[in-house]
Structures are given as C-alpha cells and as structure tokens.
A and B are shown apart, each in its own frame.
Chain A
C-alpha cells in the first residue's frame, strides 16, 4: 500500500515570492511521482512528473520538483509566483509496475497568492 502526505493544507504567499509545497510519500515499492493543479470546479492538469532519471524535474508554468528518495519527498517549488497560480495542488504517486491503476493522491494544498 502507498500513501501521500501533504502537510500544508493551505499556503498563503505574496505575489513574486518563492513558494515550496511539501509532499512526502510512503510505499513498499518504487513509484512514479506527480504533481497536479486544480482550478475551481475544473479537472486536474498535470504540472510535472518523475518517472526516472534526473531527480530535478521541470514542469509547466515555471514549476519544478525534486525527488529525494532517502527522504521520500517530492516537494514542488516555484521561484516567483503569480496571482494566477492560486489553485489547489495535489501530489500523487503510483506504483512503478502498475501505472495509473494505483494512483494515490494527497489531500491537496491550497496555494493562495495575494498582491
């Protein structure tokens, strides 16, 4: 079984400030890791994913995340946020050998960007 912990339910930040959204996971097998963004009343949009290779992954909208196997973390970062980044962010994992059939989501972190 696998689980995902997003410790911060809400992260308020001022525009143009840097931000880090934390994600820790637990799994008995190797995993794929994902970050999704959800705008109000919309589906999920993939920001970035880690499948293998370089542990620093760059995604859309200026976001990046770093996979740290020893700390079982996959924190999401952006050096300078915009008002338009205000949304819910979900970290997710899936077991490497079963793809999306075992996709598990964290509870989400609401990023609130104010001017």
Chain B
C-alpha cells in the first residue's frame, strides 16, 4: 500500500531556532498534503493544507508566518516551525490523500520539543 514517510521522528531544539519537518509520499504523487498537530492526550487538529505549486491554506488561528509550508514537488511537503518556543512543543503529523480522496495515509509523526 501507499506509504508516507515523515522525518525526523523526533527533534529537540532551542527556543528561538527553526525546525524543518519533511513529509514524503514514497510511491504515489500527492498534490495535496495535510499537516496536523496533536497535543498530549488530545485529538489531531488540522493546521493547514499544503498544495503543490501554490500557497498553503491555513486553518483559523494558525499563524502562517510561524508555520511555513512548502510543497515544491508532487512527493514532498515541508513544515518549518520558525522561531520555536516551548509552547510549540507538540506532535506533528502529516497525511496525504489517495484514491481520489477516499483514503489517506499518515506519516509516522514528529515529536518536537523546544527547550
């Protein structure tokens, strides 16, 4: 089946630095990818929709200047957390729809800890 690979699986960074998370569709093309954020013991909240070749669409309340999304190719979307702060510490998960949108495959997630 289709595979979505997310890297890194975990990262620790200092407050004020930036962190880039990659999401790749390994055996299919994804013109759209989704980025979710999950706080401890809570559900996944959609942050933004990444569109290949165009600007990402952000959900209400998500700072687009802080969470930069780039979808430069049909198999790669990146999320960059800029000037990270401890409150940005969370689990970030990407997903890509497949088969006309009736399925979605999720990356392994990235545990970000800002110290």
Per DSSP, chain B at the interface is strand
> What count of chain A residues pass the 8 Å CB interface test?
21
User: Are B111 and A106 in contact, CB atoms less than 8 angstroms apart?
Assistant: no
Complex alpha-carbon distance, A103 and B9, angstroms: 23
Is B61 at the interface (CB under 8 A from chain A)?
no
A44's closest neighbor in chain B, by CB? B106
User: Are B107 and A103 in contact, CB atoms less than 8 angstroms apart?
Assistant: no
Among B95-115, those with CB < 8 Å from A are 95, 97, 100-109, 111
Among B20-65, those with CB < 8 Å from A are 32, 34, 41-44, 46, 49
> Which residue numbers of A lie inside 8 Å of B, CB to CB?
9, 32, 36, 41-46, 49, 51, 90, 98-101, 103, 105-108
> Which residue numbers of B lie inside 8 Å of A, CB to CB?
4, 6, 9-10, 32, 34, 41-44, 46, 49, 91, 93, 95, 97, 100-109, 111
